[in-house]
Structure formats: structure tokens, C-alpha cells
């Protein structure tokens, strides 16, 4: 049972496997802040019309956040690893909790940009003021003229109001800006608490020591860099070989000629090998020895969990 709980919570560590992830999330947040500022200066223009203000204000906050969320999901490699895993192997290796936490890890990283966008929008307050100005009750404003209603209140964000309503416009704007910024700070606090709890759960439930986790992160980073670099060279050499076979020659620069001479490529890897190294992988061991990736597992010739008691015990750790 303890191993099952540890395996489920280990999916949460997808957020914090290396410093590169934190740096990437920071850059995403900074980029989102810049984009939101540019949008507010260039694109945001409240219609100042009843019924339209609310829709426009919410759209200014929600639609960009939704677009950023979807982009984050698409750019996350874990998304496509999960798709490949479900397509090739199904979900037989996933418990309900593990599947939920894996989706949570993908969604969580994708939420960095939309949450940043929402927080900055709320702290600025323009969209919130635009959306809710018409819903302010005139009775809550001291000595507000009875002949004016929601139609005039909807024009407050545009400052297009009679001179005798200027002080009421300032009061409504100040009140709504206060509410907007309060929600923004509360959102920051909630996200900070969730990140803290996630970090605590990750370290409490992980069966690995801090140093082994650091080594695992370094291994995965180096494996990914070397794999991408080698795949780029391999594909270039293979392409040169096929082009030469078609035309009888191939136009290579000096660097490419050296690559072709140094690394002879005889063929391509069969599909079963690609399938074996593609998909979701968290952590597993084979007879006490760690396997840090699907490529590592394939290189060691490990298939499944094996018939040994150790293999069955580690079934909960397989991904």
C-alpha cells in the first residue's frame, strides 16, 4: 500500500524534476506579463455599453488565458508521451489516482501562463472594472442621482460621464479596482500554497534520496540533449545517403562531409524499438537497480515487470 501511495504522488514530481523546469516556468510567466501589458495598452478597449461590458471584460481575461492554457498543453512533451502510451499500451499500467495525478501534472504546467495572465489582469483592474461597473447598485453610492441607472454606470470605465457624476465614477472605479486586486492577490496566495503543498508531498512520498533525484534529473536532461543531437545527425546522414542514391551524388558542405565519413549509417531503427522508448515513464527498478528512462530500460533489455517477486513488488512503481 505504501508503494502504491508513493507511486501515485510521484507523478506530482513532474513539475519539479529539474531547475530547468522552474526556469522555463519563470520565462513563461515573464513572457505572459509582457504580453498582457502589450494587450492592455494596444488592444483593450471597453465598449462602455450595458450587457456588452460584462462579456467583453470576461473575454479579455478568459479567452487569452484559455488560449495560453491550450498552447501549454500542446507544447508539453508529457502530453504526447501520454497519447503514445494510451495508443500503444492502453491504460492498464495506470491506477485511477496515478492517471488523475498525471493529468494534473500536465494541466499544472500548462496553467503557468494563464494564471499569470489572469493575475496581471486582475491586478491592473481595467477588465474587471469594465465587466462589473454596470452592476454597481446606485443605492450603494451616497447621493447618487436617481435619474441615472445602469446605462450611465456602464460608461464609467470610459470616463464619458456628466461632470456631476465625476466623483461617483472615481468612487466606483476605486471600489472595483480594490476588488479586482484583492482577487488577484488571493489567487497568488492560493497558487503559492498549492505549490508548497505539492513540493512537500513530492519530497515526502518519493522513495529516492535527494541526491539520487538530482542525478535522475541530470541523466534525463543529458539523455534528451544527446538523443536530439544524435537524431538530428543520424537523420541528416540518412537523408544524404538516400539523396545520393536517387541523384547519384549529394551536395554536402565540409561539415556534413565530415559527419558522413565519421558516422556511417547503415539503416533505420525498426518501429518496435521506437515504440519501446516512447511513452510515459516515471521511475522503476529491476532487481534493485534503477532504470531512469524508457531508453535505459530498452538498453538493459528489460521487458515488462518480469515474473520474479521483485518485479511484482515494483509493479506499483512502473509507469
Query: How do residues 13-56 score in pLDDT, each as one tens digit?
Result: 443 444 455 555 555 666 665 665 555 555 778 888 888 999 99
301: left (phi over 0), alpha (psi -120 to 50) or beta: left
Helix (H, G, I), strand (E, B) or coil at 291: strand
Residue 277 neighbours by CB under 8 Å, 6+ apart = 293, 294, 295, 298
pTM > 0.85: yes or no? no
Give the N- to C-terminal CA distance of the chain in Å, as an integer. Answer: 17
Q: Per residue in 108-160, pLDDT tens?
A: 888 888 998 899 889 988 899 999 988 888 878 877 777 777 788 888 888 77
Residue 173 has, within 13 A of its CA and on its CB side, a CA count of 14
More confident of the two residues 276 and 303: 276
Q: What is the DSSP string of 10-21?
A: HGGGGGGS-HHH
> Residue 290: phi, psi to the nearest 5?
-70, 145
Cα distances from 189 to residues 16, 68, 163, 182, in angstroms, run: 19, 21, 40, 11
Amino acid at each position: 500500500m505504501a508503494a502504491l501511495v508513493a507511486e501515485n504522488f510521484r507523478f506530482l514530481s513532474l513539475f519539479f524534476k529539474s531547475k530547468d523546469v522552474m526556469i522555463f516556468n519563470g520565462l513563461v510567466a515573464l513572457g505572459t506579463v509582457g504580453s498582457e501589458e502589450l494587450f492592455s495598452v494596444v488592444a483593450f478597449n471597453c465598449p462602455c455599453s450595458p450587457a456588452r461590458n460584462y462579456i467583453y471584460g470576461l473575454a479579455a481575461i478568459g479567452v487569452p488565458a484559455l488560449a495560453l492554457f491550450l498552447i501549454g498543453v500542446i507544447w508539453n512533451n508529457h502530453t504526447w508521451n501520454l497519447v503514445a502510451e494510451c495508443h500503444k499500451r492502453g491504460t492498464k499500467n495506470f491506477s485511477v489516482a496515478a492517471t488523475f495525478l498525471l493529468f494534473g501534472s500536465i494541466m499544472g504546467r500548462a496553467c503557468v501562463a494563464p494564471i499569470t495572465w489572469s493575475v496581471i489582469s486582475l491586478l491592473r483592474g481595467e477588465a474587471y472594472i469594465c465587466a462589473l461597473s454596470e452592476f454597481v447598485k446606485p443605492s450603494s453610492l451616497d447621493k447618487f442621482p436617481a435619474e441615472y441607472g445602469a446605462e450611465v454606470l456602464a460608461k464609467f470605465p470610459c470616463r464619458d460621464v456628466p461632470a456631476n457624476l465625476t466623483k461617483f465614477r472615481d468612487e466606483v472605479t476605486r471600489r472595483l479596482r480594490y476588488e479586482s486586486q484583492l482577487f488577484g492577490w488571493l489567487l497568488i496566495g492560493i497558487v503559492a500554497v498549492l505549490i508548497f503543498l505539492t513540493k512537500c508531498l513530492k519530497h515526502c512520498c518519493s522513495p529516492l534520496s535527494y541526491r539520487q533525484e538530482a542525478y535522475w534529473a541530470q541523466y534525463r536532461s543529458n539523455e534528451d540533449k544527446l538523443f536530439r543531437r544524435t537524431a538530428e545527425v543520424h537523420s541528416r546522414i540518412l537523408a544524404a545517403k538516400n539523396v545520393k542514391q536517387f541523384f547519384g551524388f549529394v551536395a554536402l558542405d565540409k561539415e556534413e562531409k565530415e559527419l558522413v565519413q565519421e558516422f556511417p549509417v547503415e539503416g533505420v531503427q525498426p518501429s518496435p524499438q521506437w515504440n519501446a522508448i516512447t511513452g510515459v515513464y516515471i521511475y522503476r527498478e529491476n532487481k534493485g537497480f534503477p532504470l531512469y528512462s524508457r531508453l535505459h530500460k530498452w538498453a538493459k533489455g528489460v521487458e515488462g515487470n518480469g515474473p520474479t517477486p521483485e518485479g511484482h513488488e515494483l509493479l506499483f512503481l512502473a509507469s
